[in-house]
């Protein structure tokens, strides 16, 4: 918790370290290259010309397949909303993005992992379809699994509380009780004040939702491997929920502070603009912070692993693995820290909206 400044500086230091040790390994790579290239060339076509940024973008982005490992992947259901109606089929139909699928209303193709309505086999995008993709993507599936996990965990904990009423906590219950009490005593109570009880369910849900998605995202294979909280759509939803909760619960002091602050009246128009920008920018910052932190973690891990393929040598693997391990441990901390900061700032914003006196 107290090392957050280090966590952030890692983004600077890491690039320096990366560049230094990539320099060190460049010349060694040439030496080994010739033996290795043959093996790698056999393995796959892409390995010949490895594009790290494409790999990274593919890994942190969403997908219509759930990769288990190697070339094994689950196809996921595709749900499309078009201006003619709903289309539901399996992503298997695309055959790894090779084929164009003839749906009920339009032809669809997978272009850069995104489903587009096309006019024909040449994959020319048909804009007239008004396509909105409501597919169960990798992120949605992963999110559902973590939600399921949350249900299992907290329903069992709740039943433990019912069963062991008035007794000391035990097992999972005693693991989670300090966390719940931490949210209550160190996050909700000091920031919101005596009205905290109304917001406890929201704060707890947000905290554990972010935490579990952060942690599952760190698992490199199925059922992890997705980048749920590092996807801007997810953090966008959380930020919008914060925005709504804060402004719905804002009392008259909160609104007075925005619309009639203690400044000369001719400054009001400027203040309104500033305050309205503040209302929007607070949740916006929340959204960006969580998204960027988690995404950066994934990017760094994949970048480190990519080094092996960039230099096409196994010699770099130990270094790469060691650094990945280091970053993973750091990300473990970040997973907790970001969940905490999101909840903390949410409580802070709610607190400023329900506070009785502003001055």
Partner 1 sequence: MTGSIAALGAGLAVIGAGIGIGQIGGKAMEGISRQPEAAGKIQTAMIIAAALVEGVALFGVIVALLGNK
Partner 2 sequence: MELVTPEWGLVAWTTITFLILLVLLKAFAWKPIMSAINDREKSIEDALLKAEAAKEEMSRLTGENESLIKQARAERDLILHEAKKVKDQMIADAKEIAHKEGARMIELARVEINNQKAIAMADVKNQVATLSIQIAEKLLQKQLEDQKSQDELVAQLLKEVKL
Does position 2 interact with partner 2 (CB under 8 A)? The reply is: no
Q: How many Å apart are CA 253 and CA 193, to the nearest integer?
A: 15
Burial of 114 (0-12, 13-18, 19+ CB in 10 A): middle
Q: How many Å apart are CA 179 and CA 181, to the nearest integer?
A: 5
Does position 345 interact with partner 1 (CB under 8 A)? The reply is: yes
Nearer to partner 1, 279 or 292 (CB): 292
Binding-site member from 241, 292, 308, 333 for partner 1 (CB under 8 A): 292
Of partner 2, partner 1, none, which one does residue 340 interact with (CB within 5 to 8 Å by kind)? partner 1
Q: How many residues bind partner 1 (CB under 8 A)?
A: 22
Q: Closest by alpha carbon to 227, among 298, 311, 171?
A: 298
State the minimum distance, in angstroms, from the CB of residue 309 to partner 2. Answer: 21
Does position 196 interact with partner 1 (CB under 8 A)? The reply is: no
Task: Point out which residues pair with 101 in neighbouring strands.
Answer: 108
CB-based contacts of 324, cutoff 8 Å, min separation 6: 301, 304, 305
Q: H/E element holding 115? A: strand 114-118
Of partner 2, partner 1, none, which one does residue 274 interact with (CB within 5 to 8 Å by kind)? none
Site string for partner 2, 56-95 (x = CB under 8 A): -x--xxx----------------x----------------
Does position 340 interact with partner 1 (CB under 8 A)? The reply is: yes
For helices 268-310 and 317-354, the axis angle rounded to 10 degrees is: 160
Site for partner 2 in 25-54 (CB under 8 A): none
Of partner 2, partner 1, none, which one does residue 12 interact with (CB within 5 to 8 Å by kind)? partner 1
CB 254 within 8 A of CB 352: yes
Task: Retrieve residue 36's tokens.
Answer: 């290795």
Does position 179 interact with partner 2 (CB under 8 A)? The reply is: no
Q: How many Å apart are CA 326 and CA 40, to the nearest integer?
A: 27
Q: Give me the residues that bind partner 2 (CB under 8 A), please.
A: 57, 60-62, 79, 132-137, 139-140, 143-144, 147, 150-151, 154-155, 157-158, 161-162, 165-166, 177, 180-181, 184, 197, 200-202, 204-205, 209, 231-234, 236-238, 241, 291, 295
């Amino acid at each position: 918790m107290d090392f957050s400044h280090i966590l952030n500086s890692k983004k600077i230091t890491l690039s320096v370290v990366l560049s230094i040790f990539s320099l060190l390994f460049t010349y060694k790579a040439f030496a080994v290259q010739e033996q290795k290239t043959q093996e790698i060339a056999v393995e796959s076509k892409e390995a010949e010309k490895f594009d790290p940024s494409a790999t990274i973008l593919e890994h942190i982005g969403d997908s219509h397949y759930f990769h288990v490992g190697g070339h094994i992947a689950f196809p996921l259901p595709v749900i499309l909303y078009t201006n003619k109606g709903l289309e539901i089929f399996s992503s298997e139909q695309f055959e790894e993005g090779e084929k164009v699928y003839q749906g009920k209303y339009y032809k669809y193709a997978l272009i850069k992992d995104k489903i587009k309505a096309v006019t024909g086999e040449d994959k020319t995008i048909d804009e007239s379809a008004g396509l909105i993709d409501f597919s169960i993507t990798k992120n949605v599936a992963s999110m559902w699994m973590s939600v399921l996990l949350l249900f299992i965990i907290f329903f069992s904990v709740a039943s433990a509380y019912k069963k062991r009423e008035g007794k000391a906590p035990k097992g999972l219950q005693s693991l989670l009780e300090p966390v719940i009490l931490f949210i209550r005593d160190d996050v909700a109570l000091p920031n919101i004040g005596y009205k905290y009880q109304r917001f406890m369910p929201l704060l707890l849900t947000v905290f554990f939702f972010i935490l579990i998605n952060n942690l599952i995202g760190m698992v490199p294979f199925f059922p992890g491997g997705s980048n749920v909280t590092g996807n801007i759509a997810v953090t966008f939803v959380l930020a919008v929920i914060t925005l709504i909760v804060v402004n719905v619960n804002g009392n008259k002091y909160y609104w007075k502070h925005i619309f009639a602050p203690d400044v000369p009246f001719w400054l009001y128009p400027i203040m309104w603009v500033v305050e309205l920008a503040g209302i929007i920018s607070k949740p916006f910052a929340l959204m960006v912070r969580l998204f960027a932190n988690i995404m950066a973690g994934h990017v760094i891990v994949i970048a480190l692993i990519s080094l092996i393929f960039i230099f096409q040598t196994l010699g770099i693997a130990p270094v790469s693995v060691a650094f990945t391990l280091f970053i993973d441990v750091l990300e473990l901390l970040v997973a907790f820290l970001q969940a905490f900061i999101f909840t903390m700032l949410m409580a802070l914003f709610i607190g400023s909206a329900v506070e009785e006196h502003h001055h």
